[in-house]
């Protein structure tokens, strides 16, 4: 691994705080699962908003929804595809079952590139996961024109992303290309 790849892997595999996890009973038994929004946030942080993509293909098998997902990440002109199948029991709502299957598929695919391996190794104990949000010491490269949030540099080095990208109540936060400017 060269230094860039090592840095990417370390960032992908950094621990999450407790609020990132939920109890998941969709397979008929209890599992600890990482919430999809935290996986997406990590992907944004590392690759930038437009340098990763998750495609979902659903299949229904009696009372079970399967999601065959494909996660594509781009880093330094290299494109990598990761395939993973997730599933969810159809219990209450169809929408919930689709969402559960998609999240399951995404989290498996993400684990293949280092995100939250611990859940899949069975190493997560929610009693010992940090309650505190990690101190934010990222450099700020500007302000989002939509929401005035801080812009951070994606680890890919190609784009900046808004700290509030998840909140789309004001609209889509614009893509900002990184052109070598210094932190403010
Ligand atoms: Zn914004």
How close is the Cα of 163 to the center of ligand 1, in Å? 7
Tell the CATH topology of 3-121. Answer: Enolase-like; domain 1 (3.30.390)
Contact between 70 and 110 (Cβ < 8 Å): no
pLDDT tens-place string over residues 5-58: 777 777 888 878 778 888 766 556 666 778 899 999 899 888 888 889 999 999
Domain ranges of the chain: 3-121, 135-184
Q: Which of 154, 133, 118 is nearest to 45 (CA)?
A: 154
Q: Which of 137, 121, 156 is nearest to 45 (CA)?
A: 156
The model's pTM: 0.66
How close is the Cα of 22 to the center of ligand 1, in Å? 26
How close is the Cα of 88 to the center of ligand 1, in Å? 33
How close is the Cα of 137 to the center of ligand 1, in Å? 19
Beta-carbon contacts of residue 101 (< 8 Å; ≥ 6 apart): 58, 65, 66, 67, 86, 87, 88
How close is the Cα of 168 to the center of ligand 1, in Å? 8
At 164 the pLDDT is 82
How close is the Cα of 25 to the center of ligand 1, in Å? 34
pLDDT tens-place string over residues 92-104: 889 989 998 999 9
Q: Which of 137, 113, 141 is nearest to 11 (CA)?
A: 113
């Amino acid at each position: 691994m060269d230094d860039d790849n090592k840095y990417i892997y370390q960032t992908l595999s950094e621990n999450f705080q407790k609020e990132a996890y939920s109890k998941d009973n969709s397979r008929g038994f209890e599992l600890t699962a990482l919430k999809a929004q935290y996986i997406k946030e990590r992907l944004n942080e590392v690759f930038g908003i437009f340098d990763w993509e998750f495609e979902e293909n659903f299949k229904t098998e009696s009372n079970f929804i399967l999601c065959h997902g494909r996660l594509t990440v781009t880093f330094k002109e290299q494109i990598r595809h990761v395939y993973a199948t997730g599933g969810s029991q159809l219990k209450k709502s169809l929408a919930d079952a689709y969402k559960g299957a998609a999240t399951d598929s995404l989290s498996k695919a993400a684990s293949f590139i280092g995100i939250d391996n611990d859940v899949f190794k069975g190493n997560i104990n929610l009693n010992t996961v940090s309650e505190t949000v990690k101190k934010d010491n990222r450099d700020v490269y500007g302000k989002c024109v939509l929401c005035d949030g801080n812009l951070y540099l994606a680890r890919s080095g190609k784009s900046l992303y808004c700290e509030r990208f998840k909140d789309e109540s004001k609209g889509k936060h614009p893509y900002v290309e990184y052109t070598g400017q210094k932190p403010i």
